[in-house]
Amino acid sequence: MTDTAHSPGPLRGLRVVEIAALGAAPFAAMMLADAGADVLRIDRPGQNTDDVGILGRGRAAELGLDLKDLHERDRALEAIDHADVLIEGFRPGVMERLGLGPDICLGRNPGLIYARMTGWGQDGPLATTAGHDINYLALTGALRSITRQGDVPVPPLNLVGDYGGGGMLLVAGILAALYERVSSNTGQVVDTAMIDGTSLLMSGIWNRKSTGNWSSEPGTNSIDSGSHFYNVYRTADDAFIAVGSIEPQFYERLLRGLGLADTDLPAQQDRAQWPAMKDRFARIIRTKTREEWTAIFAELDACVSPVLTLDEAVTDPHMQFRNTLLRGERVEPSPAPRYGRTPGAAGGSKSTKPAETVLTQWASTIEATPATTRTGQH
């Protein structure tokens, strides 16, 4: 794999200091590294970075520092002085107690984008309490909404809070602040909270609710397993297919594939008939294997897909064509999104440069480049 420090990605030359954390923060740093940024990761001495795995790929270097030690904290500050972005994922107040809070860092480096990642946010009654993805989803209403009628909510892995409403939102905030810095010549704090991001991801559902098209009773709506045309069904071989035939033209093709095209059926949007139609679809789909249904719908373009396991996803023809999953010593996702002129690259899991070399390069770049032309105008 390519060393991200040499990637021609769109963020090449961006200098990022990442204070080691879990989940969303390293995911955001990985995305920046994939896009070409130089990311210096500061870990506790002796911390096992293998635990970070794929999320730790592409770092320009790693530096072990005990931030409670004043001398080593000063070394961290020297790195931050040369950075465009700082990413931290501690509970509110921790960085301040370490002497690395925004006032100190921005006082030394006015152009710094100080990016903070928490679950509950920097303030509020729950700000300093513990939590995980499932807790943040619970408070926002998202978790209760991911429920089949009469069943218990299903945690959607940690995709929504940690990565979608956390890490990806953090990256968006960083990039927006960097863009603003071009005109203001000034950095700022980016406060990213998973409850905010999760709520933002629920915008479409809140919109449906505001227009009267969404019931608060989970499992009764069109896309939450309430309908027969947007659901998951078990096949004869105890596998599954996913049906997403929302629009009338796709629904007509779905009925054709199921052998119901010439049958007298209730209207697609007749909600009173959805439970009975789900049962009818389930009985029909149970008569054939997943591969048989895949073959039937291959030419119908009805928004019907086989539900693959992780191992099966690796060998899927479309996934392979797109090279969506990289296969080497391990399987890992490719960098995304893709850039036509400045493609990024997934760096290896281990840094190839000493941290001091990276810091020297950062310092020399800042000294040699006029302030009016630098990405980070410090």
Across the range 233-247, mean pLDDT stands at 98
Model pLDDT, residue 48: 61
- Rounded Cα gap, residues 153 and 146, in angstroms: 6
Q: Which residues lie below 8 Å from residue 205, measured CB to CB, with a gap of 6+? A: 145, 214
Q: Is 78 in the same domain as 188? A: yes
Q: Is residue 206 part of a domain?
A: no
Model pLDDT, residue 277: 98
DSSP letter (8 states) at residue 53: G
Instruction: State pLDDT tens for residues 348-361.
Output: 655 667 888 888 88
CATH for 49: 3.40.50.10540
Q: Is 351 in the same domain as 311? A: no
Three-state DSSP class for 192? strand
Catalytic one of 3, 6, 81, 132:
132
Model pLDDT, residue 370: 37
Q: Is 181 in the same domain as 67? A: yes
Q: Is 315 a residue whose pLDDT tops 50?
A: yes
Q: Is 109 in the same domain as 41? A: yes
Domain that holds residue 64: 4-201+337-368
Q: Structure tokens of 262?
A: 């010439």
User: Containing H/E element for 103?
Assistant: helix 102-108
Across the range 2-8, mean pLDDT stands at 49
Q: Is 68 in the same domain as 25? A: yes
Pairing of strands 85-88, 61-64: unpaired
Does 71 participate in catalysis according to the annotation? no
Q: Is 89 in the same domain as 145? A: yes
Instruction: State pLDDT tens for residues 359-376.
Output: 888 988 765 443 333 444
Q: Is residue 218 part of a domain?
A: no
Cβ atoms within 10 Å of 83's Cβ, excluding its own = 28
Q: Structure tokens of 85?
A: 């972005």
Three-state DSSP class for 191? strand
Q: Which of 113, 116, 64, 65 is nearest to 89 (CA)?
A: 116
Q: Is 4 a residue whose pLDDT tops 80?
A: no
Model pLDDT, residue 25: 97
Instruction: State pLDDT tens for residues 140-184.
Output: 999 999 999 999 999 999 999 999 999 999 999 999 999 999 999
Q: Structure tokens of 31?
A: 């995305």
Q: Is 110 in the same domain as 10? A: yes
Q: Is 138 in the same domain as 271? A: no
Q: Is 28 in the same domain as 159? A: yes
- Residue 237 — very low, low, confident or very high, per pLDDT cuts 50/70/90? very high
Model pLDDT, residue 357: 87
DSSP letter (8 states) at residue 119: S
Model pLDDT, residue 314: 97
- Rounded Cα gap, residues 258 and 236, in angstroms: 14
Q: Is 75 in the same domain as 183? A: yes
Model pLDDT, residue 347: 79
The number of distinct structural domains making up the chain is 2
Model pLDDT, residue 351: 61
Cβ atoms within 10 Å of 137's Cβ, excluding its own = 27
Model pLDDT, residue 6: 46
Model pLDDT, residue 348: 63
Q: Is 138 in the same domain as 268? A: no
Q: Which residues lie below 8 Å from residue 342, measured CB to CB, with a gap of 6+? A: 8, 9, 10, 12, 36
- Rounded Cα gap, residues 354 and 59, in angstroms: 11
- Rounded Cα gap, residues 308 and 281, in angstroms: 20
Least confident of 265-279, 295-309, 330-344, 358-372: 358-372
Question: HSE (CB half, 13 Å, CA atoms) of 203?
Answer: 5
Q: What are phi and psi of 216, to 5 degrees?
A: -75, -10
Q: Is residue 245 part of a domain?
A: yes
Does 132 participate in catalysis according to the annotation? yes
Q: Is residue 11 part of a domain?
A: yes
Amino acid in position 90 = F
- Residue 51 — very low, low, confident or very high, per pLDDT cuts 50/70/90? low
Model pLDDT, residue 206: 98
Q: Is 8 in the same domain as 97? A: yes
Instruction: State pLDDT tens for residues 253-270.
Output: 999 999 999 999 999 999
Catalytic one of 38, 133, 162, 191:
162
Q: Is residue 13 part of a domain?
A: yes
Q: Is residue 209 part of a domain?
A: no
Q: Structure tokens of 26?
A: 């390293």
Across the range 207-218, mean pLDDT stands at 96
Q: Is 243 a residue whose pLDDT tops 60?
A: yes
The per-residue pLDDT of the chain, averaged, comes to: 92
Amino acid in position 121 = G
